[in-house]
Amino acid sequence: MPLRGVVDSHCHLDQLPGWRAEVRPEPEAALSEIAEILDRAAEAGVVQTVVPGCAWPDFGPVAIIAERFPAVWAAFGIHPHDAATWDSDGPQRLARALAGPRTQAVGEIGLDYHYNFSLPEAQREAFRAQIRVARDIGKPLIVHTREAEADTLEIMRAEGAGEVGGVMHCFTGTRDLALACVDLGFHVSFSGVLCFPKSADLREVARAIPLERTLVETDAPYLAPPPHRGRRNEPAYVVAVIEALAGIHGRPAEEVAEITARNARVLFGLPTP
């Protein structure tokens, strides 16, 4: 029997149509494919999805998807990979996007020193500025961090990120960082990485985080859990993350689904479906 009322708290739904294809589908064809993806999600019990627009060109398409599909809610922010595009007009541009309907959070934002597609200094500047925007308008944060734990935590503390709260998305970091973020009032979100055979350390991190501060996500189209590894991820597969958490905490999957969905709805201000 499928789970009910599940929330995929982070999915790049706009990227799923034509993923890895040389030619992306036309807008209406893409929306038709998204409708099919959401139908499969609903069959698996996934009834709400938060979709972040992570670069300026993404904001329009994500807003259209959120307006078209009642199951979808938007977030907007400049990803650290695109931090070089942040400039003095950034705060005003971002605030305008966040004022739109069905827009619930600022993100995903943060630091990524693994790829350094933008210089670390530019990443830190954009991260700080976007936390300030979130505080000004009172929306929670969706934070990405990779190989940048100390700087991420320092900036979150210095900029008062705890005033609005948020989520450490697709968490793969250390137990110390996870607990420090929980102390700041943040949630910790786990993806299909939790299901990978080599993720024993991450499962121990998940065990240390109370379910009441835990979210689940796919981060689709990336990081599909077994048995879908190597293929396109999609919201229906977030059920595997719930089942992994259920095993880690020794709780029924139905209970984990209910708790994590409630957490997401409270954090992002989503209605009960």
Those residues of the chain that have pLDDT short of 70 are: none
Q: What is the 3-state secondary structure (H, E, C) of 40-77?
A: HHHHCCEEEEEEEECCHHHHHHHHHHHHHCCCEEEEEC
Record the pTM.
0.97
Q: Which helix (H) or strand (E) holds 106?
A: strand 103-112
- pLDDT value for 23: 84
Q: What's the burial of 91, exposed, middle or buried (CB within 10 Å: 0-12/13-18/19+)?
A: middle
Is residue 51 within 8 Å of 65, Cβ to Cβ?
Answer: yes
- pLDDT value for 24: 85
CATH fold of the domain at 6-268: TIM Barrel (3.20.20)
Matching residue, tokens 């970091």: 173
User: Model confidence over 231-249: pLDDT tens digits?
Assistant: 999 999 999 999 999 999 9
Is residue 46 within 8 Å of 236, Cβ to Cβ?
Answer: yes
